Structures are given as C-alpha cells and as structure tokens.
C-alpha cells in the first residue's frame, strides 16, 4: 500500500464516534486505488518500531475518574478545607452553649491536720486557721479532698452570634470550593487524556511520515544506481529523512511527557497511557454525564463560593463591632469537701449572673474592626473580579468552539491538498519529470499538514469540553 495513502486514511479516524483515537489503525484502501500505485521499495529502520506502551493503562473514563478520586491531592486538600471549616463552626457554636467543668484535688494543710467548718466564723479546730466553727463535730480530713463543679450559660453575646454566622458562611464557601475543585479536575482530566491520545496519534503519523521519507530515499538511490538520478537527489532526500527522524524523536518525547502528566494527575508514580477502546467522543460524553449544565453563570461553584466568602467577611465585621457590647451569662458553682466523720459535705453552692462591661482595652477592638473591614473589601473586590473574568471567559470559550471547528476544517482541506500534491510530485519524480527538490518540499508540506490536522482536532475537542464545563457543575 502506498504510504501516503496510508497516512491519508489514518488522518480520517480521529474524532469519529466509536473509533479509538489512541490506537487508531489504518483502513484498507480500495482495490482500484491500490492497483494504480506502483510497488514501493521495502525499507526498515529501528525508529519505525512504535514506542512501548505505558506501564499503566486506563481503559475507560470511569477508571481514570476513580483513580482521580482516590489519589488526587487537590481533591484531598479541598475535602480537608471543608472539614476545617466545619470544625471552626463547631468552635463558634460552643460560644452559645452551656459549659460544665469539674475539678477534683487533694491537699495537705501544713498548719494543721484538720479544720472544722460551720458555726461561728474564725473558730478553728485543730489550729492552723479554720474556715469556720465545728458543727456536729465534723472536721475536714487530712489530706483534704475537694471537688468543684462550675457551669455557665450565655444569656446575651452578640459577638458569638455573628461569629457563628460567619463560620456558617465560611463552611458553605468551602463546600462550593470543593465543587469547583471537582469541576476543574474534570476539565483537567479530559484535557490530559486528550493530550495523551493526540500525542499517540502524532507518534503514529511521525512514523508513517518517516517510512514515506525512507521510501523516497530508496527510490532516489535506485534511480542513481540506474543512472537516472544524481548524488544531489540522494543527499536532499537523506536530509528529508533526517528531518522525519527528528520529528519522531520529538513526538515520542511529547508522548512520554503527556503520559507523565496523566500519571501525575492520577497519582501514579509511573507513566499512564490509554488502552484500546477509549475515544475522544467517549471522553466528551462521559464528561457531560458526570457534570450538569447550569441555568445561570452565577450558579457556578466558584461564583457561589465567592459570594459565601463575602458574606463571611461581612459577618466577621459585625462580630468585631459586637465586642463593644456587654455580655451577660448565668453561672453556678458547687464545692464539696471530705469530712470526718462521714465522707463529704457540700458547704457551698452558688448561682448568679455576670454582666461584663467592656470599657477600654487600649484600642484592640478598634484595630480588629479595621482589619475585618479591610478583609471584607478585599473579598468583595475579588468576587467582583471573578464575576467579570467569568463573563469574559464564557464569551471566549464559546468563540473558541467556532474558531477551532473552522481551523479543523481548514487543516483537513490543507492536508488533503498536500497529500494530492505529494502524490503527483512523487509520480512525476518516478517518471523523471520532477526534481528531488520538489519531492522534498512536497514531503515536508505533507508532514506539516498532517501534524497540523492532529493538533487542530485536539484543539477542537478541548474547545468543546471547555465550552460545556465553563457553565457546569460536577457532583461526582
């Protein structure tokens, strides 16, 4: 089969539904076209051997997404932020709930072994300064055991209320940020998988082009042996073959880097490649299933997270200003002592209310208010900037779909024209009416258009997936 015809057939398999891009194979040429082509010289070269497959293969979108869920550091970080925000909310909630604390201690009185309590004040028993007179002969033990239980109940604390509301908004912002992380990871996964697929396709095209260059070189060498060619023709085609080898080396390295990038994204220490059965159309379809389109751009997770952060900043300002207000709380405490005879007595049980009036703290509260207002303004400006950039992004992405589609169609026509031009130039060289310079120029043009076509197909797919995800939310 003519290698140029093979390259032409290969270039048509990309982005066709149901056809695998990563391992797209050649389609057989029609019998009449194959018969019209003269026999081609047999060529061999170590660089014609395909690049070995990656040590780790993913065969479906679901498999790649499962690896991403389990190993993504970005997703783990976002989940940790949600947990931290939930913990902060629990801390702020504690400021509005009752507290109950207890303590138990054992002490030895160095001034006397026992102390009587109850009765007339100042009447000590056993010396050493007592806490009261004896009642019924009850005195404290030596060593003395004491137990204390204290309870508090906030009755009015506006700062704690605003702090709790700020924590609620912060937790909500963290949850929206988690959704945004999922959306970004979905886009990155689709783009990286497509990059690997396109790189594998480029590696195939580069080897087809190398084989074609070697066949041209063999043809020129044969002509020189028969006296119909010159050494200059051979040198020109040797240069063309070396240029094709350079593209093979460059394409293989691009493929290795794409596999490394996919492995890094999926948390694998080894490069990750694509198995058979995975196409770009499947990637686009599965990506749309994992995510859902939004009715309005304002519903996008990053927009919602920005609004929640603004709300949290506003609540923080209110909490800082509330420090100027008094607080009121109810308190109660119980004290128990070990006595002899008997085990223990409770001589003290207090209950009361505490009103705290903040008069002057040297300007600490004023400074905290300034800081909170500055943080609120910073957060608000960041939200406005995000909203503006998102609007521009949507317009740009929508245009990119049309531009990329048109570029793909142009690249397809350019590749078809270059293939026909190369076929005619080669035929002319075979019959002796063309020059080696024409052959080299047409071959270089064909190689470039083949690569441009693969790149344009990749860009068209990326534009389509980004056009969907720019106004979507992902819930996986």
What CA–CA distances, in Å, run from 406 to 134, 398, 401?
A: 103, 13, 9
Q: Burial letters for 95-131: b for 16+ Cβ neighbours within 10 Å, e otherwise?
A: eeeeeeeeeeeeeebeebbbbbbbeeeeebbbeeebb
Looking at the predicted structure, is the pLDDT value of residue 22 above 60?
Answer: no
Per-residue DSSP letter, 431: T
SS3 58: strand
d(CA 310, CA 308): 5
Residue 46: CB atoms within 10 A of its CB come to: 5
What CA–CA distances, in Å, run from 476 to 12, 65, 173, 188, 443?
A: 34, 9, 18, 15, 48
SS3 439: helix
The CATH 1.20.1600.10 portion of the chain extends over 3-88+188-314+370-474
Is the preceding omega at residue 71 within 30 degrees of 0, hence cis?
no
Phi, psi dihedral angles at 225 (to 5 degrees): -65, -30
Q: Are 279 and 64 spatial neighbours (Cβ–Cβ below 8 Å)?
A: no
Q: Are 471 and 293 spatial neighbours (Cβ–Cβ below 8 Å)?
A: yes
Q: Which helix (H) or strand (E) holds 149?
A: strand 144-156
Q: Are 170 and 315 spatial neighbours (Cβ–Cβ below 8 Å)?
A: no
- pLDDT the model gives residue 388: 95
Per-residue DSSP letter, 137: T
Q: Are 383 and 307 spatial neighbours (Cβ–Cβ below 8 Å)?
A: yes
Looking at the predicted structure, is the pLDDT value of residue 1 above 80?
Answer: no
Give the angle 148-150-152 at the CA atoms, nearest 5°.
Answer: 175
- DSSP line for 326-341: -EEEEEEEEEEEEEES
SS3 119: coil
- Residue 285: pLDDT band with limits 50, 70, 90: confident
Q: Which helix (H) or strand (E) holds 311?
A: helix 301-321
Lowest mean pLDDT among 134-138, 157-161, 275-279: 134-138
Q: Is 411 exposed, middle or buried (0-12, 13-18, 19+ CB in 10 A)?
A: buried
Tens-digit pLDDT profile for residues 226-274: 887 788 888 988 998 999 999 999 999 999 999 999 999 999 999 999 8
Query: In Å, how far from its chain's centre is CA 203?
Result: 28
Task: Count the helices and strands in the chain (H runs, E runs).
Answer: 10, 9
d(CA 91, CA 168): 11
d(CA 103, CA 148): 5
Most confident of 8-22, 131-145, 217-231, 256-270: 256-270
Record: fold of 3-88+188-314+370-474: Outer membrane efflux proteins (OEP) (1.20.1600)
- pLDDT the model gives residue 439: 85
Tens-digit pLDDT profile for residues 448-466: 999 899 899 889 988 988 8
Tens-digit pLDDT profile for residues 403-426: 999 999 999 999 999 999 999 998
Looking at the predicted structure, is the pLDDT value of residue 100 above 50?
Answer: yes
Token pair recorded at residue 464: 């389509």
Per-residue DSSP letter, 59: -
What CA–CA distances, in Å, run from 364 to 114, 319, 403, 441?
A: 48, 14, 58, 77
If you average pLDDT over every residue of the chain, what do you get?
84
Looking at the predicted structure, is the pLDDT value of residue 219 above 90?
Answer: no
């Amino acid at each position: 089969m003519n290698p140029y015809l093979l390259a032409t057939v290969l270039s048509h398999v990309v982005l066709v539904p149901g056809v695998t891009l990563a391992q797209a194979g050649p389609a057989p040429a029609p019998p009449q076209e194959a018969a019209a082509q003269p026999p081609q010289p047999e060529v061999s070269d170590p660089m014609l051997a395909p690049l070995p497959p990656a040590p780790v293969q993913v065969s479906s979108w679901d498999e790649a997404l499962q690896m991403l869920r389990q190993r993504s550091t970005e997703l783990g970080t976002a989940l940790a932020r949600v947990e931290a925000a939930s913990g902060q909310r629990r801390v702020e909630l504690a400021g509005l709930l009752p507290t109950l604390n207890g303590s138990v201690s054992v002490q030895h009185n160095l001034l006397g072994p026992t102390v009587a309590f109850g009765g007339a004040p100042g009447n000590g028993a056993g010396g050493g300064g007592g806490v009261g007179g004896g009642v019924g002969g009850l005195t404290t033990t030596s060593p003395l055991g004491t137990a204390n239980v204290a309870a508090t109940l906030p009755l009015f604390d506006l700062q704690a209320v605003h702090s709790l509301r700020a924590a609620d908004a912060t937790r909500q912002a963290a949850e929206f940020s988690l959704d945004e992380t999922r959306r970004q990871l979905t886009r990155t996964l689709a783009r990286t998988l497509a990059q690997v697929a396109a790189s594998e396709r480029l590696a195939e095209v580069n080897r087809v082009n190398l084989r074609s260059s070697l066949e041209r070189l063999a043809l020129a060498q044969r002509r020189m042996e028969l006296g119909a060619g010159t050494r200059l023709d051979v040198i020109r085609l040797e240069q063309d073959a070396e240029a094709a080898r350079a593209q093979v080396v460059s394409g293989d390295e691009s493929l290795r880097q794409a596999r490394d990038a996919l492995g890094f994204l999926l948390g694998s220490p080894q490069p990750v490649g694509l198995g058979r059965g995975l196409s770009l159309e499947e990637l686009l379809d599965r990506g749309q299933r994992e995510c859902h389109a939004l009715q309005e751009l304002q519903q996008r997770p990053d927009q919602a997270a920005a609004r929640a952060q603004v709300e949290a900043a506003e609540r923080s300002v209110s909490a800082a200003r509330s420090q100027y207000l008094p607080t009121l709380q109810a308190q109660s405490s119980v004290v128990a002592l070990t006595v002899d005879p008997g085990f223990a007595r409770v001589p003290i049980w207090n209950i009361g209310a505490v009103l705290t009036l903040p008069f002057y703290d040297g300007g600490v509260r004023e400074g905290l208010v300034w800081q909170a207002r500055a943080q609120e303004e910073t957060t608000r400006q960041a939200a406005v900037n995000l909203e503006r950039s998102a609007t521009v992004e949507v317009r740009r992405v929508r245009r990119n779909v049309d531009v990329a589609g048109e570029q793909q169609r142009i690249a397809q026509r350019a590749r078809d024209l270059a293939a026909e031009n190369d076929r005619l130039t080669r035929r002319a060289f075979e019959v002796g009416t063309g020059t080696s310079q024409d052959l080299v120029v047409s071959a270089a043009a064909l190689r470039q258009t083949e690569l441009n076509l693969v790149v344009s197909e990749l860009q068209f797919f990326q534009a389509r997936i980004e056009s969907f995800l720019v106004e979507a939310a992902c819930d996986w």
